[in-house]
Amino acid sequence: MTTPPSPASERTADAAAERLPPGQYVPRGWPVLHYGRVPDVDLASWDLTVWGATADGSSRRWDWAAFGRLPRTEITADLHCVTKFSVLDNAWTGVSTAVLLREVPPAPSVTSVVVWAEYGYSANMRLEDFASPQALLATAHDGDPLTADHGAPVRLVVPHLYAWKGPKWVRSVEYLVEDRRGFWEERGYHNRADPWREQRYSYQEDPGDGPAL
Ligand SMILES: Nc1nc2c(c(=O)[nH]1)N[C@H]1C(S)=C(S)[C@@H](COP(=O)(O)O)O[C@H]1N2
Ligand SMILES: [Mo]
């Protein structure tokens, strides 16, 4: 006896299930989710700054025109929100974090970064997570410039972490020699945020996963 082949619809569902971290589902469309209001960003005064524990002690700032001259890359990645929706196959275009790290090398003692957005939203992560080859400062999604709702003009994308680690409306990157919690990380969310290990809440942290709360 052989088992009858499963219908195509079921196979598609199985394939999707294997791509989904535990507890996640695929919603219809692309939800918009953030804390607070959508900022009204003026590109004429917009800038992006890399600061903190840089190798030579100085910070570096790009205005919109200068940022636009940095080399671009494209990646395709899934976005996993801790509220359990996952948006699959997003094509992101932007500036690889590797480019920023090359332009502004961190001091050897840097262990973590905090990425800051408009209104003081922030997310921290280990330097190695920020430096992931998949991580980028995205300016476009599926070929279109980001909309204001989705983080225009620049959002961070770190596909292997829950999406709160990717601030929309990014304005600066701070290099840290000692880890410091960001906005959600100090409000009950996990310091590491690996969706494959379902690291959702800070009460799940093991010693060493993050600074004391
Ligand atoms: N500045 C800022 N960025 C943010 C957030 C936020 O509240 N403020 N929320 C995060 C969370 S929890 C998620 S799931 C994603 C949602 O991105 P989307 O609205 O494009 O789907 O944005 C992330 N980036
Ligand atoms: Mo989220």
Pocket test for ligand 1, best of 28, 30, 34 (most atoms within 8 A of CB): 34
Question: Does the CB atom of residue 126 touch ligand 1 within 6 A?
Answer: no
Which of 134, 141, 208 is closest to 165 using CA atoms? 134
* Cα 140 from Cα 76, distance rounded (Å): 12
Please answer whether residues 86 and 24 qualify as being in contact, where contact means their C-beta atoms are separated by less than 8 angstroms.
yes
Q: How far is CA 55 from CA 50, 51, 60, 72, 108, in A?
A: 11, 10, 12, 24, 7
Which of 75, 80, 91 is closest to 21 using CA atoms? 80
Question: Does the CB atom of residue 81 touch ligand 1 within 6 A?
Answer: yes
5 C-alpha vs ligand 1 centroid, how far in Å? 40
Point out the ligand 1 atom lying closest to the alpha carbon of residue 35.
7
Please answer whether residues 184 and 122 qualify as being in contact, where contact means their C-beta atoms are separated by less than 8 angstroms.
no
* Cα 113 from Cα 128, distance rounded (Å): 9
Asked whether the CA dihedral 112, 210, 181, 37 is positive or negative, the reply is: positive
Tens of pLDDT, residues 101-134: 999 999 999 999 999 999 999 999 999 999 999 9
**Does residue 75 register a pLDDT over 60?**
yes
Tens of pLDDT, residues 172-209: 999 999 999 999 999 999 999 999 999 999 999 999 99
Point out the ligand 1 atom lying closest to the alpha carbon of residue 117.
1
Q: How sure is the predictor about 18, in pLDDT bands with cuts at 50, 70 and 90?
A: confident
Global pTM value: 0.94
Point out the ligand 1 atom lying closest to the alpha carbon of residue 121.
1
Which domains occur in the chain, in start order? 20-28+41-204 (3.90.420.10)
Q: How sure is the predictor about 1, in pLDDT bands with cuts at 50, 70 and 90?
A: very low
35 C-alpha vs ligand 2 centroid, how far in Å? 10
Percent of the chain with pLDDT over 90: 91
Tens of pLDDT, residues 32-44: 999 999 999 999 9
